[in-house]
Amino acid sequence: MSDRRITRFFAEFEPPEGFRAELLRGEIVLTASPDLVHNAIVETVRDQIPRRGWRRLQTQRVAIPEEPSEPQPDLVVIERGAGPDGGRLMPAEVITMVVEVVSTRSVHRDYEVKRSIYAAAKVPGYLVIDPVMAQCVLFTEPTGTGDAADYRCRRITKFGEPAPLEPIGGELDTSEFATYENVTPHRCP
């Protein structure tokens, strides 16, 4: 199926109840609804980003130029006043930072696939919050194109320490972040 056909199909696709759908490099990925640890972290992050200067959008799909991808990060952060006021897609070029909270099944997708997609779209900051490894990883300075795109810089902060958020000029209090219980550690980033 061509990129245009899959993008058109995806625009009309309705995922089953209890699932969210993302288009990642031409593949439709279904993910079960997140658990309470995940949702509590997203809520805490959203509450810490000042509303005065930033729009903090949940369940917002992102339009990625030159690529058959429409990821739906856990949080999209854009400057207040930037971007469209309507529509189902936020253009990547107006986004300052995206946030993904790792689930037990999304480790590779969050650390590898989405990292490359957001870097290719030149999103200035990509924050991965990882309740498996009790850490936050901030990726900055996107470089490259397509599958070879990546971020030049990464900063790892353990839960309990303040995590710097250079793209929005602040830091994140991670002391309330919980971890998943009974999960196998991974080797990312």
Look-up: residue for tokens 């602040």? 170
| pLDDT higher than 90, residue 42 | yes
pLDDT tens-digit series, residues 95-139? 999 999 999 889 999 999 999 999 999 999 999 999 999 999 999
Mean pLDDT score, 36-51: 96
Three-class secondary structure of residue 5 per DSSP: helix
In order of start, what are the domains of the chain with their CATH numbers? 34-172 (3.90.1570.10)
pLDDT of residue 167: 96
% of the chain residues with pLDDT over 70: 99
Quote the tokens at residue 106.
Answer: 């999304």
Residues 6+ apart with CB under 8 A from 23: 6, 7, 10, 29, 68, 69, 70, 71
Across all residues in the chain, what is the average pLDDT?
A: 93
Looking at per-residue pLDDT, the higher value among 97 and 15 belongs to 97
| pLDDT higher than 70, residue 1 | no
pLDDT of residue 21: 82
Report the number of secondary-structure helices (H) and strands (E) in the chain: 4, 12
The Cα–Cα gap between 90 and 117 comes to 15
Pick left, alpha or beta for residue 109 (phi over 0 → left; psi -120 to 50 → alpha; otherwise beta): alpha
pLDDT tens-digit series, residues 136-164? 999 999 999 999 999 999 999 999 999 99
Task: State pTM to two decimals.
Answer: 0.91
% of the chain residues with pLDDT over 90: 77
Question: What is the identity of the amino acid at 102?
Answer: V
